[in-house]
Amino acid sequence: MSFNTFGRVFRFTTWGESHGPAIGAVVDGCPPGLAISEADIQPYLDKRRPGTSRFTTQRQEPDQVRILSGVFEGKTTGTPISLMIENVDQRSKDYSEVAQAYRPGHADYAYDAKYGFRDYRGGGRSSARETASRVAAGAVARLVIPEVRIRAWVEAIGGDSIDPANFDPGQIDANPFFCPDAEAAARWEALVDGARKAGSSLGAVIACEATGVPAGWGAPLYAKLDAELAAACMSINAVKGVEIGDGFDAARLRGEENADAMRPGADGPEFLANHAGGIAGGIATGQPVRIRVAFKPTSSILTPVETITRSGEATEIMTKGRHDPCVGIRGAPVVEAMVALVLADQKLLHRAQCG
């Protein structure tokens, strides 16, 4: 089945393929009366946009978003907000090889196995290009949760991690890697450039923090805040792991090490630690919500790999053309968008039940 809608009451639906005429999103359930224009969305698309440095794919897409509905006199009306982004740089190339053989690591074989055939041009629907629609929808979600501040960054590339001691939020937008550690950013230049030149690719870890999430948001048990965040992030192409708070590290701790002790604070409790990542029992505790997301290395590489053709014969394939040497880098604005979309939904859900 195909399920291209996400959310319970604040919902969005995305559509579009890498090489079709356009991609887009329909955002439904948005509260009325929020001031909005394309200018509120474009900056987020610009952060995710390809072709801005030599560390991302060279596809040139202006990614200009148009609002087609749901806004009147500069404000949301409460009706569906249709967002469209035209595809401009669908380079006409020869896809005959990709059409006939499966690129390992890509969704080629799986789509064929499911649907019997596939739109092979640039990966079709399974292209990372789809995430532009998420980012556009996420920009609308942010307007719904002005009390929340969401910030994602790249924590590691190819196994090379930032040094927490060097964490400087001001750095995140100061380098092409969304890297909060200036020294790591410098190292990554060489690392990513090397992978690019070698026709190879690198994985990455994205961290994201949302501050200002009020205690109480969350919809236990099967739409828990952490479960929704996990689904939202795992639905991003190339993501293979999600952690909340200490994540897998928590599995190594003892109970007394993992407890987030509390003291009386000025506004509710003051927590002495945040191993939980701001979520307990699926409900926000008021602490910062912390999530980590693992991106595998881009599957498109210039090294020939053993594979089979559609008719089942042995062959080799290597992916020509433009690609991100580390698709995780542009994952940072996408993770931010997904977190915003989940939180907007959870805010409205909480308001529905608890007034």
Binding residues for NADP(+), by number, are 48, 54
Tokens of 117: 């055939």
Residue 256: burial class (beta carbons within 10 Å; 0-12, 13-18, 19+): exposed
Tokens of 75: 């404000």
Tokens of 16: 């579009």
Tokens of 93: 């190339």
Which is nearer to a second copy, 150 or 227 (by Cβ)?
Answer: 227
Tokens of 22: 């356009």
Structure-token match 């790591």, residue found: 184
* Minimal distance, residue 220 CB to a second copy, in Å: 6
Helix axes 331-354 and 38-48, enclosed angle (nearest 10)? 140
* Minimal distance, residue 134 CB to a second copy, in Å: 9
Which is nearer to a second copy, 170 or 314 (by Cβ)?
Answer: 314
* Minimal distance, residue 270 CB to a second copy, in Å: 9
The values of phi and psi at residue 292, to 5°, are: -125, 140
Query: Which amino acids are annotated as binding site, given as ranges?
Result: 48, 54, 125-127, 237-238, 281, 296-300, 322
* Minimal distance, residue 312 CB to a second copy, in Å: 5
Q: Which residues, at least 6 apart from 264, have a Cβ–Cβ distance to it below 8 Å?
A: 270
Q: What is the DSSP letter of 288?
A: P
The secondary structure element, H or E, covering residue 11 is strand 11-16
Whether the CB-CB separation of 209 and 290 falls below 8 Å is answered with yes
Structure-token match 């532009």, residue found: 132
How far apart, in whole angstroms, are the C-alpha atoms of residue 90 and residue 87?
7
* Minimal distance, residue 148 CB to a second copy, in Å: 16
* Minimal distance, residue 90 CB to a second copy, in Å: 13
- SS3 at position 243: strand
User: Looking only at Cα atoms, what is the longest distance across the chain?
Assistant: 68
Tokens of 171: 């750095």
Which is nearer to a second copy, 53 or 161 (by Cβ)?
Answer: 161
Helix axes 38-48 and 131-144, enclosed angle (nearest 10)? 130
Whether the CB-CB separation of 313 and 118 falls below 8 Å is answered with no
* Minimal distance, residue 42 CB to a second copy, in Å: 17
* Minimal distance, residue 69 CB to a second copy, in Å: 4
Query: Which amino acids are annotated as binding site for FMN, given as ranges?
Result: 125-127, 237-238, 281, 296-300, 322
- SS3 at position 93: coil
How far apart, in whole angstroms, are the C-alpha atoms of residue 205 and residue 142?
23
List Cα–Cα distances, 280 to 219, 226, 244, 245, in angstroms.
11, 9, 10, 10
Strand partners, 86: 22
